[in-house]
Amino acid sequence: MIFSSWQFILVFLPVTLLGYFLLNRSRKLVLGKVWLVLASLFFYAYWNWTHLPLILGSIFLNYQLGRRLSLGYELEKAGKISGWIRHRRAWLTAGIALNLVTLGYYKYTNFMVDNLNWFAGTHFQLNAVVLPLAVSFFTFTQIVYLIDSYRGETSQYDLLNYSLFVTFFPHLIAGPIVQHSQIMPQFSSRWTWLPRESHLVKGLFLFSIGLFKKLVIADTFAIWADAGFDGKQALDFYSAWGASLSYTFQLYFDFSGYCDMAVGISLLFNIWLPINFNSPYKSFNIQEFWRRWHITLSHFLRDYVYIPLGGNRHGEWRTHANLVITFALGGLWHGASWMFVIWGLLHGLALVVHRLWQASGWRMPRWLAWTITFLFVNGAWVFFRAKDGDSARRIFSGMGDISTLGWIPLTRLPADTLAWAGWLADPLLSLFPSYLVGQLPVLLMLSLSFVLIRQKNALQWAAEGVDGPKLACTVFFLTVSIYMTVVSTSAVFLYFNF
């Protein structure tokens, strides 16, 4: 079930919210948590119930191991070091390995077999392994829990509370990646047991903005991005840049829209999820970009990959290597493709260049810093979106084809290029190059998006309070978005694939 479907908006969410608060109002707090866990599992199983045993088994095994690690920490702290307690680190390693092996089987088996066949010239074939929904996110969430348990930073939660922590449906499918300390204390607070008007209003406001981002903006850009990346014909300058920039904005509005919706839905239950986006396309360097984009993943990579590798504690060159390795692994986490690895390597190398630039003491104008950062991010997204190297080369070739900047004979244009223009085609062609006129709707939408990304984001608006105009915007966004869910089939959120 996806947040932008009418089943979720009109049935699942109202029923789940009503049942949860009715049970809490009756002082049946445990039943309220049970209700929320069961609703979250139904939400997960709605797409494919056959994967339900996987998440249930993962929850049970990680919960038992986490309790063992936490208990071992307390005994070790008390000086009672004996038996299995001596091997706590081995238990932690085994737990992390089990999670990664499970993730690797579902996500990378086909990838590894394909690469083995290519490298060794063999022809091994396996039945296609279907990727379970959200396996990357709930696996990382539980790895964090195991490490925190080993460090003695978790409480002795019971299985119900732990299950709620993992399955809470607003963050279950595509994040943000949460830590137990961020949401578990909130579920235990009496201030979250009953509905609060301010949270309901802010939650609906954030949800409506996220829904509008997804259905109206991201799904519109998806049409142009898919046409450019998935086609076979050569691309001219305008269509190549239109495709690459369309994907850049599609991904942002799709994923940040999901996160706005997740935060908004969670707030309806009086739970604040961590911020995952903070206007990343305002960044003036690549380091700032990663402090604003997919923030919870950035923190995970920093705390559980970069720092354990040595961080910046072993000299400049080791620091550079750690950055590149961390982002290469971050790219691979997104999917079983060398395109993701290349994307991660590019960002790792960009961070190395940024460190060298900072060390030099040189500075550049802010407008130039923003332009370079945005163009790099846009170019790297080409590898992230492209299915293979040939697709990426086709986009880059068009982006560099300056010969198509000028007036081109209409006979070289695809038959449907100017179909949108109707009677406007002739006067527009007298003023602009034909390729430019063909891409005019895309360019107008892109221009609007460049204006939008300079404004305050949804969370900043919500933090200022929801007044009359914002309530009117909420009603407008919800009305338009619900209409869109009825008249069209919305695509799945992009990060559901990761």
pLDDT digits (tens, 9 = 90+) for 426-459: 554 555 555 555 567 778 889 899 999 999 888 8
CA distance 198 to 491: 31
CA distance 328 to 324: 6
Q: Which amino acid is at 403?
A: S
CA distance 312 to 337: 29
Give the percent of the chain with pLDDT over 70: 89
Catalytic residue from among 51, 334, 347, 354 = 334
Question: What pLDDT, on a 0 to 100 scale, did the predictor assign at position 435?
Answer: 57
Lowest mean pLDDT among 112-126, 214-228, 283-297, 364-378: 112-126
Q: Is the pLDDT of residue 407 over 60?
A: no
CB 226 within 8 A of CB 492: no
Tokens of 209: 């903005």
Mean per-residue pLDDT, 415-423? 50
- Coil, helix or strand at residue 32: helix
CB 180 within 8 A of CB 142: no
Question: What pLDDT, on a 0 to 100 scale, did the predictor assign at position 206?
Answer: 92
Tokens of 268: 């309806």
Per-range mean pLDDT, top range of 105-109, 125-129, 160-164, 286-290: 286-290
Q: Could you tell me the residue ranges of all domains in the chain?
A: 6-196, 201-497
Question: What pLDDT, on a 0 to 100 scale, did the predictor assign at position 409?
Answer: 47
Q: Is the pLDDT of residue 330 over 90?
A: yes
Backbone conformation region of residue 315, classed left if phi is above 0, alpha if psi is from -120 to 50, else beta: left
CA distance 71 to 65: 10
Backbone conformation region of residue 51, classed left if phi is above 0, alpha if psi is from -120 to 50, else beta: alpha
Tokens of 407: 């007036």
CA distance 243 to 225: 5
CA distance 133 to 311: 32
Question: What pLDDT, on a 0 to 100 scale, did the predictor assign at position 411?
Answer: 43
Residues 6+ apart with CB under 8 A from 449: 217, 221, 249, 253
Question: What pLDDT, on a 0 to 100 scale, did the predictor assign at position 496?
Answer: 64
Tokens of 417: 């290029």
Q: Is the pLDDT of residue 90 over 60?
A: yes
Using alpha carbons only, give the angle 357, 361, 366 rounded to the nearest 5 degrees: 70
The model scores a pTM over 0.85: yes
Averaged pLDDT of the chain: 85
Q: Which amino acid is at 2?
A: I
Residue showing tokens 């499918």: 173
Q: Is the pLDDT of residue 50 over 70?
A: yes
Question: What pLDDT, on a 0 to 100 scale, did the predictor assign at position 415?
Answer: 47
Q: Is the pLDDT of residue 92 over 80?
A: yes
Comparing C-alpha atoms, which of 224, 281, 289, 287 is closest to residue 253? 281
Comparing C-alpha atoms, which of 207, 257, 221 is closest to residue 449? 221
Comparing C-alpha atoms, which of 13, 92, 1 is closest to residue 46? 1
Q: List alpha helices for 78-127, DSSP H.
A: 88-120
Residues 6+ apart with CB under 8 A from 492: 2
Lowest mean pLDDT among 186-200, 349-363, 480-494: 480-494
- Coil, helix or strand at residue 410: helix
Per-range mean pLDDT, top range of 107-116, 167-176, 262-271: 262-271
**Is 180 known to be catalytic?**
no
